[in-house]
Structure 1
Amino acid sequence: MQRTDFYFYLPPHLIAQQPNRSRTSSRLLWANSILEPFQDLRFTDLPHLLMPGDLLVFNDTRVIPARLLGRKQSGGKIEILVERILDNNQILAQIRASQPPKPGMWLYLEGGIAIQVLQRIEHFFQLQFDDPRSVDEILHTIGQIPLPPYIRRTPTEVDSIRYQTVYARQPGAVAAPTAGLHFDEGILEQLQTKGIAMAFITLHVGAGTFAPIRVDNIHQHTMHTEYMQVSPQVCEQIQTTRARGGRVIAVGTTCVRALETASAGGNIKPYAGETRLFITPGYRFQSVDALLTNFHLPESTLLMLVCAFAGQDLVLAAYRHAVEQEYRFFSYGDAMLVSHNPNE
């Protein structure tokens, strides 16, 4: 399949630059079938679309303040985006600079913190802090919330709260699992009261989630790796839900990747480690029946996953509808609910 098969026109003004006034005030597009009219709803309608006995699966990763600003020895400005904390004083990171730094060079961050380039590993740099404090302490002292590149403004205190799910508890992501940003404590309580169960996996979203596909044939694309964990308890919840006829509903594409990675053998099993699963049309899903997701970038790996899940024709038609109806797109945008189409 070609990358251009997943193109759609998106007017720039539909890219949400700010969060809504409240988490649940976003819109919800219910794209149940290409044979039925799409339903333009509010996110607060979600409990009415779910049934007692359904299971919602959330990603409980927590975004770390992974954006660091500084200068090279020459004085040139740099921006460091932490991809992963390796130990107490080393990180793997992307570096934006006029010229990429070389191994052995020193970089200087706010507050006089020095950091040395150890080596380059593909698109990333291994860096070591010359500071008695831990990486985690340094990030929480001078780091900023790493807003996505299409949000063209400086992060604020509001972002430190709103670019984080209310159930985030496992630090390690550099991007939010954005389908979960719509939930607040009130709607979670409504869902529980209705008899809808909840489960939590962890997938630490990396900066690679924003990396564009640069090849025409999507099957030649090399997927980025991300750390994930699916517990024995979650596996048991999924098996029990399906045995009694309930649906497993993934909140976001990160949950789909985690659950399907853990289901690689056909049955879901506990898993802790890396995933680079790239889901494209033709993939056979094992553990997910419905998906709540935000609207994704044209020609992105996330859009390809949604097309594989619900059907390419339905998803692209839903996106055209969303553009016509001026839904808000991307991280701070609106949401869509789709069911799995096993014929895709």
Structure 2
Amino acid sequence: MTALATELFDYDLPEHLIAQAPSAQRDASRLLVVDRKTQQVTHRQFRDLPHFLGPSDVLIRNNAAVLPARLSAVRPTGGKVECFLLRAEVEQAAGESWWCLLRPGKRLPVGATFSRADAFHATVIRKADDGVALVQFTPTNATESVAAMANRCGRMPLPPYIGRSDEDQRSADDLERYQTVYADRQRQVAVAAPTAGLHFTPEIFTQLQTQGVVTAEVTLHVGLGTFRPVTTDLITDHDIHREIYEIPPLTQNHVLQGDKRRVAVGTTSVRALEHFCSQHTTPLDHPFLGEADIFIYPPRSFAGVDALVTNFHQPRSTLLCLVSALLTPGKTDGIDWIKEIYHEAIAEEYRFFSYGDAMLII
């Protein structure tokens, strides 16, 4: 196992390049194209993506929808509470229990209550070592689930580097723009958007279909762990987060047969596909439900992905490690190369992170 210093994946980013809102039109984002064979970098618009794909490609996208998971409430004393829904635990006769992040967490011990008159009453019933709390919700409307209630009155779970107040008018736009156009609303299982997919439009998919590009699906239960930076001195000492994923048989066939260039949309898709390929060499006749627990960093070879559509990632992040590995599979040269690419993107004033611009690695 290669011992890589975490500082190798650090870089300086001017704060004004952290995108606080999406581009006016989804496909108006910029697209930095990296050709690994020629080692050339070119600058395009995302609507130019179909120029780089054709009938020999399968585009693998994450169809998970994002739950508006941020709920505002108050304690009996009048103090404000923010409840961030993470995942459902059990369904009960009187409501549902969800694992949540609570703010202020220390002031909400087991037994504490909070509520929102038009939505729910909640009780903290357990606290875990990692700071999350199990909360029992009793809905104001007995026929409404917690997910339905969140869709009615919750806010999108934007990452911490995007600033939003409760009164920010952009929050209404986030309900649409922090969601891909191909999100399956029956699969509202994510609390973080597959941000590489935010640039796609129906028109782009129509053009790709006309060109013979095949589209395949995965469903990723993306959680907050995707935003967690590496804080250890060595990459190998980082405790990687786990993410549940689902891969239908058709996608399994495309990934394992390898008769087309497999273009993943998003680094979390890469992680799921590589985890699946590490466990299977032949497709199954049923959907596969797994839990990705692999940490991808240089030098690593790839079994399930040949190209990638991605956004620009945070310094010292596991996602930046993954992109570095994909630039030069099986080698560590990608560490220096990604710094060169990011340096050029910064000089060209690309917009970074979730609402920022995109990169295509081919």
TM-score range, shorter chain: over 0.9
Separation of aligned partners in 2, 1:107 and 1:224: 29
The answer to whether residue 17 in structure 2 is matched with residue 14 in structure 1 is: yes
Separation of aligned partners in 2, 1:100 and 1:62: 32
Separation of aligned partners in 1, 2:343 and 2:281: 36
Residue deviations 1:9-51 (CA, integer Å, cap 9, x gap): 1000001111111110011001224964410111121111113
The answer to whether residue 105 in structure 2 is matched with residue 102 in structure 1 is: no
Residue deviations 1:232-290 (CA, integer Å, cap 9, x gap): 111112344x23xx210000011101111111136264530322222111233111001
Residue deviations 1:289-336 (CA, integer Å, cap 9, x gap): 011100011111111111111122222211111000000101111100
Query: One-letter code of the match for 1:126?
Result: L
Contact 1:59/1:255 (<8 A) preserved: yes
The answer to whether residue 278 in structure 2 is matched with residue 264 in structure 1 is: yes
- Over aligned residues, Cα RMSD in angstroms? 1.8
Identical residues among aligned pairs (%) = 41
- The one of 128, 131, 146 aligned to 1:135: 146
Counterpart of 2:240?
223
Q: Which secondary structure state, in structure 1, belongs to the residue aligned with residue 229 of structure 2?
A: coil
Separation of aligned partners in 2, 1:223 and 1:97: 26
Separation of aligned partners in 1, 2:157 and 2:357: 20
The answer to whether residue 131 in structure 2 is matched with residue 120 in structure 1 is: no
Q: Rate the CA distance shift 1:109–1:52 in 2: closer, same or farther, 3 A.
A: same
Counterpart of 2:338?
315
Separation of aligned partners in 2, 1:19 and 1:250: 21
Q: TM-score of the superposition, structure 2-length normalised?
A: 0.88
Query: One-letter code of the match for 1:123?
Result: G
Contact 2:19/2:355 (<8 A) preserved: yes
Counterpart of 2:178?
163
Separation of aligned partners in 2, 1:315 and 1:68: 38
Counterpart of 1:295?
312
Q: TM-score of the superposition, structure 1-length normalised?
A: 0.92
Separation of aligned partners in 1, 2:298 and 2:120: 47
Q: Which secondary structure state, in structure 1, belongs to the residue aligned with residue 309 of structure 2?
A: strand
Separation of aligned partners in 2, 1:179 and 1:97: 32
Counterpart of 2:331?
none
Contact 1:58/1:198 (<8 A) preserved: yes
Displacement of 1:100? 4.6
Displacement of 1:178? 0.4
Separation of aligned partners in 2, 1:70 and 1:208: 24
Structure 1 segments of 4+ aligned residues over 4 angstroms from their partners: none
Residue deviations 1:157-185 (CA, integer Å, cap 9, x gap): 21111110011002111111000011000
Separation of aligned partners in 1, 2:250 and 2:55: 20
Contact 1:60/1:201 (<8 A) preserved: yes
Residues 41-52 of structure 1: matches in 2 within 5 Å? 41-52=44-55
Separation of aligned partners in 2, 1:189 and 1:98: 47
Contact 2:255/2:305 (<8 A) preserved: no
Separation of aligned partners in 1, 2:117 and 2:10: 40
Matched positions, count: 336
Counterpart of 2:57?
54
Displacement of 1:112? 6.3
Query: One-letter code of the match for 2:30?
Result: R
Displacement of 1:71? 2.7
Contact 1:110/1:142 (<8 A) preserved: no
- The one of 68, 74, 79 aligned to 1:76: 79
- The one of 27, 43, 64 aligned to 2:67: 64
Query: One-letter code of the match for 1:28?
Result: L
Separation of aligned partners in 2, 1:300 and 1:112: 36
Query: One-letter code of the match for 2:352?
Result: F
Counterpart of 2:261?
247
Contact 1:33/1:314 (<8 A) preserved: no
